[in-house]
């Protein structure tokens, strides 16, 4: 934060930076895993930063959280058991719990402090934390997945930090193999997969690893995310079955979910990939 009260995240690999005007710094803490900072901004509401990277703002998190939850849940024939790896701010959890078919959601985040600070500074994301279907574990999602029972989950949502620090292992072949084993035979994994403009070197290998670990279908969704590098983001789904065959389009079209971004048309539009993306996939 400079002396004129701007928070700036520099994205070295994109040669760019994004700044938000700050009112005040509300919190600053080094946990055993990462540095967490919370700011009050002028126009984006409260802002959470982990290790210098924007995690979420009150103003635009709805796009990311809805796109992490609803496309994958409407792509599964009967999503009952959901596991969220990461997701400590609880925004994705809130969206998942909007689905009546979901009977249990287990959230496994390595750092309890993220959830406690979300409760304090982003209470609107935590409104469903006391839902009887929600359970919380504060431990490493990589180790949890290694030990998970075969077929225990219908949907796995990896809502983690970038592939650095404690999240590095969440982008490996070993982790995807463990997810594949933990999913039932119509199971689907979805993971946040960075910027299509800046991070094809992450997205491309990720998609290949998903296929090489046994997933039969891989789809990348594109959506805007103003406070992330380049303002353009992706989530990648990996299904054991063909995702277009298990997609519940009728349900997505007629759902009465309270959303601000997601609807069935947005879902279809998000699946359209730009030309450079097709060319980069060999
Ligand atoms: N939307 C965000 C983004 O893309 O920048 C992610 C937000 S969420 C706060 C990320 C969470 O991942 C953090 O709470 C962090 O503690 C968690 N995390 C990182 N590595 C993890 C691991 N190995 N197991 C479980 N959770 C992890």
Catalytic position from the list 60, 109, 140, 159: 159
The pLDDT of residue 163 is 86
Give yes or no for residue 160 CB within 6 A of ligand 1.
yes
Question: The pTM is what?
Answer: 0.97
The pLDDT of residue 164 is 85
- pLDDT level of residue 4 (50, 70, 90 thresholds): confident
Q: Residue 118 CA: which ligand 1 atom is closest?
A: 9
Sheet architecture: strand order including 46-50: 6-11, 16-30, 35-41, 46-50, 53-57
- pLDDT level of residue 1 (50, 70, 90 thresholds): low
Q: Residue 169 CA: which ligand 1 atom is closest?
A: 23
What is the average pLDDT across 108-133? 98
Q: Are 88 and 115 in contact (CB under 8 A)?
A: yes
Give yes or no for residue 108 CB within 6 A of ligand 1.
yes
Atom 1, ligand 1: residue with shortest CA distance: 55
Task: Give the model confidence (pLDDT) of 161-210 as tens digits.
Answer: 888 888 999 999 999 999 999 999 999 999 999 999 999 999 999 999 99
Task: Give the model confidence (pLDDT) of 55-79 as tens digits.
Answer: 999 999 999 999 999 999 999 999 9
Atom 15, ligand 1: residue with shortest CA distance: 86
Atom 14, ligand 1: residue with shortest CA distance: 88
Would you kindly state where each structural domain of the chain is located, as residue ranges? 6-57, 61-280
Mutate to test the pocket of ligand 1, among 117, 139, 161, 231 (most ligand atoms within 8 A of CB): 161
CATH architecture of 61-280: 3-Layer(aba) Sandwich (3.40)
Give yes or no for residue 68 CB within 6 A of ligand 1.
no
Is pLDDT above 60 for 92? yes
Give yes or no for residue 159 CB within 6 A of ligand 1.
yes
Burial class (CB in 10 A: 0-12, 13-18, 19+), 279: exposed
Tell me what percent of the residues of the chain surpass a pLDDT of 90.
94
Task: Give the model confidence (pLDDT) of 206-242 as tens digits.
Answer: 999 999 999 999 999 999 999 999 999 999 999 999 9
- Is 159 noted as a catalytic residue in this protein? yes
Among 1.10.1270.20, 3.40.50.150, 2.30.140.10, 2.30.30.60, name the CATH number for the domain at 6-57: 2.30.140.10
Q: Residue 61 CA: which ligand 1 atom is closest?
A: 1
Atom 17, ligand 1: residue with shortest CA distance: 86
Distance 234 CA to ligand 1 centre (A): 16
Tell me what percent of the residues of the chain surpass a pLDDT of 70.
99
CA 212, distance to chain mean position in Å, is: 22
What is the average pLDDT across 32-38? 97
């Amino acid at each position: 934060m400079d002396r004129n009260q701007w928070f700036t995240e520099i994205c070295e690999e994109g040669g760019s930076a994004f700044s938000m005007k700050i009112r005040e710094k509300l919190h600053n803490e080094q946990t055993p895993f990462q540095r967490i900072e919370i700011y009050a901004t002028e126009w984006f509401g409260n802002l959470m930063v982990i290790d210098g990277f924007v995690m979420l703002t009150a103003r635009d998190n709805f796009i990311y959280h809805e796109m992490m939850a609803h496309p994958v849940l409407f792509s599964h024939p009967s999503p009952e058991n959901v596991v969220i790896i990461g997701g400590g701010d609880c925004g994705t959890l809130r969206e998942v719990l909007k689905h009546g078919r979901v009977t249990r959601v287990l959230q496994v985040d390595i750092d309890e402090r993220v959830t406690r600070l979300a409760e304090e500074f982003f209470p609107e994301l935590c409104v469903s934390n006391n839902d009887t279907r929600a359970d919380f574990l504060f431990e490493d999602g990589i180790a949890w997945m290694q030990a998970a029972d075969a077929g225990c989950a219908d949907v796995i949502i990896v809502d983690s930090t970038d592939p650095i620090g404690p999240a590095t292992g969440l982008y490996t072949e070993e982790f995807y193999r463990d997810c594949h084993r933990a999913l039932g035979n119509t199971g689907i994994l979805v993971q946040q997969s960075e910027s299509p403009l800046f991070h094809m070197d992450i997205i491309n290998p990720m998609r290949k690893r998903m296929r090489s670990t046994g997933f039969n279908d891989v789809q990348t969704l594109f959506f805007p995310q103003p406070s992330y590098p380049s303002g353009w983001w992706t989530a990648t789904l990996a299904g054991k079955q063909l995702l277009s065959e298990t997609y519940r389009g009728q349900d997505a079209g007629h759902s009465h979910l309270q959303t601000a971004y997601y609807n069935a048309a947005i879902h279809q539009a998000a699946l359209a990939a730009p030309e450079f993306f097709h060319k980069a996939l060999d």
